Amino acid sequence: MKKLVAYYSASGVTARKAKDLASEVGADVYEIVPAQKYTSADLDWTNRKSRSTLEMRDPSSRPELAEKTTELSGYDTVYIGFPIWWGVAPRVINTFIENNDLAGKKIGIFATSGGTGISAAIKDLQKKYPDLDICGGKLLNGSVKGDIL
């Protein structure tokens, strides 16, 4: 069974956890990169007009990716990681999920957060993508030990 850890990281925190998880489970690593990278101003959640705020207020927002699709056919399990934004996954994660064929794959979710739990993010993704096998996941703010599923 081949595994992939796909992640989006705004500040590098999620990237470190993704690499730790990949090492723990023997997975390949793939960075989800927006076509237009986020600046510090874009990520200012206190600014009602910042890019991240506008995207998160619009449930249909789908930021474009640098690579439209990712070759996932050789993987049985895909872990998807991100920082929690407004209690859920950043919209760029929706773009990744919708642009790629994840049917038949076991999907684990992991996240980093400064104070919000992961359960709402997992439930939101399960609700949006009921045909996918999103098995749950874990908040990875501390050290990464073993598999998250």
| Percent of the chain surpassing pLDDT 90 | 91
The domains located in the chain, with CATH, are: 3-139 (3.40.50.360)
Edge-to-edge strands of the sheet including 133-139? Answer: 28-31, 3-7, 77-83, 106-112, 133-139
Average pLDDT over residues 63-80: 96
Phi and psi dihedrals of 87, rounded to 5? 85, -5
Output the pTM of the full model.
0.95
pLDDT at 140: 97
Question: What is the average pLDDT across 39-64?
Answer: 92
